[in-house]
Homo-oligomer: A and B are copies of this chain.
Amino acid sequence: MCAAYHTLAPQDRQAEYQKVQAHFEDLKTRGLKLNMARGKPGKAQLDLVSDILTVLVNPADCVSDGIDVRNYGELTGIPAAKRLFADILGCKSEECIIGGNSSLTLMYDTISKAYTHGLLHSEKPWCQLDKVKFLCPAPGYDRHFKVTESFGAEMIVVPMTPTGPDMDLVEELVRDPAVKGMWCVPKYSNPDGIIYSDETIRRIAALKPAAPDFTVMWDNAYCVHEFDGPFVPFADILTLCREAGNPDMVYEYASTSKITFPGAGISVMASSVDNVAYMEKLMTVQTISYDKVNQLRHVAYLKDKEHTLALMQRHAEILRPKFQCVLRWLDSEIAPLEIASWQRPKGGYFVSVNTKPGLAKRTLALCKEAGVVMTGAGATFPYGKDPQNSNIRIAPSLPPVEELEQAMDVFCTCLKLAALEQLAQ
């Protein structure tokens, strides 16, 4: 194994370059077509849950709490689905609105309604304000940033730390009344895979924002998504906000997209009963109900939190070897070279690699040349601009392990090549 690149004499570096370059050329000849771009479950995970297709078979199966779920009605969702999510999230069922197959849509709708109608405590709709600013802990989830970008909000990067967003900075920034909200993925954050510390969460719940309608967008996307070890209990942000005197400050989101089918699950938005009542009034105009047959299908299949957690352990058995593969390659091929660092998540869908500054774009361009598609460089930052050109999100869930081995070979080779090119400049 080679020593740390920055310690190499020019001659040794040249030798290493030739070796890595030769391997890269060899990889290119293999005509690979591999994808580690998105947190997309693999086929084995889809097959694992396909019994959900047949839990509702005849008309009698379609009645829940006296409601025929096949007909119109129940705008905010069936009670049984609210109970299921309340059980999973640790909130109350009356704090839940059950949505369609996409929690992202619920988040988009919240921001959209803030712009067109205002939120509960808004003085006016955000579209009537000169300036709306939004806090974006980064690296973060590209689709969050796209939502606020799409509406023209000014996005302010808040650095992520191993315990969550830099809270000193957040507390300072929320004193600006134009700062209207903040994106959070509090458990197994996308992409770092870290869990916000208790102190971070308490400080978020206790924020004293200048804007009366400041909104924490709490995307609990990976609430039960441990792939290594048992379920990690997690504080209920709704309770914490209420106790801190901020009952209406947070909207929490979750979905079954990575529990059952990614494209055909159900989602939830949980917030204070006052926020739920406010949103229900606005939603009346938008739909008659979400798909309640699918809500009941999920209740029949997932049953409760305990049963859901048992299923998640079976997903974990499929996912764990994939993450182990990624980390094994990084540990053996990259660690000694001192050209990148990474987190070691125990849940979620990503491994976040931070290269030495300036290497991310080049690494991913080389990967593409060799047939490996990854999340675009910069995607984890607002406006797609990673100031260090350093963060790379690896999404290992889709390919089978044998393909992942090849993809990681490509990735490590390309990262080495990019680092050596930079050192040669």
Contacts and interface: CB of A to CB of B under 8 A. Distances in A.
Interface of A: 38, 40-41, 43, 46-47, 50, 53-54, 56-59, 61-62, 68-74, 100-102, 104-105, 108, 112, 115-117, 125, 127-128, 143, 146-147, 150-151, 257, 261-264, 282, 284-294
Contacts of A69: 263-264
Contacts of A54: 54, 57
Contacts of A150: 117, 282, 285
Which 9 pairs, one residue from A and one from B, show the smallest C-beta to C-beta distance?
Answer: A264-B293, A127-B127, A101-B291, A108-B286, A102-B287, A70-B261, A46-B70, A72-B262, A150-B285
A43 B257 CA distance: 31
A273 to B, nearest CB: 22
A59 B46 contact: yes
Contact of A292 (B70, B72, B127, B263): B263
B50 A263 contact: no
Given A53-B293, A71-B263, 4 more contacts: A50-B70, A70-B264, A72-B262, A100-B100
A167 to B, nearest CB: 28
B70 A263 contact: yes
Given A263-B70, A263-B293, A50 B58 contact: yes
A147 B286 CA distance: 7
A105 B46 contact: no
A175 to B, nearest CB: 28
A68 B43 contact: yes
A59 B47 contact: yes
A80 to B, nearest CB: 14
A31 to B, nearest CB: 20
A261 to B, nearest CB: 4
19 contacts: A38-B72, A40-B73, A46-B62, A50-B58, A50-B62, A53-B57, A69-B264, A70-B263, A71-B263, A74-B263, A100-B290, A104-B286, A104-B287, A108-B286, A112-B116, A116-B151, A125-B127, A146-B285, A147-B285
Given A58-B53, A117-B150, A291-B101, A41 B285 contact: no
A66 to B, nearest CB: 13
Nearest to A51: B58
A329 B143 CA distance: 57
A117 B147 CA distance: 12
Contacts of A38: 72
A293 B49 CA distance: 13
A292 B150 CA distance: 25
A62 to B, nearest CB: 7
Nearest to A107: B286
Nearest to A116: B115
A261 B293 contact: yes
Given A105-B287, A112-B112, A288-B104, A46 B68 contact: yes
Nearest to A108: B286
B108 A127 contact: no
Contacts of A151: 116
B46 A263 contact: no
A253 to B, nearest CB: 13
A291 B291 contact: yes
Contacts of A262: 70-72, 288
A282 B147 CA distance: 10
A217 to B, nearest CB: 14
B46 A50 contact: no
A263 B68 CA distance: 10
A281 to B, nearest CB: 10
A290 to B, nearest CB: 7
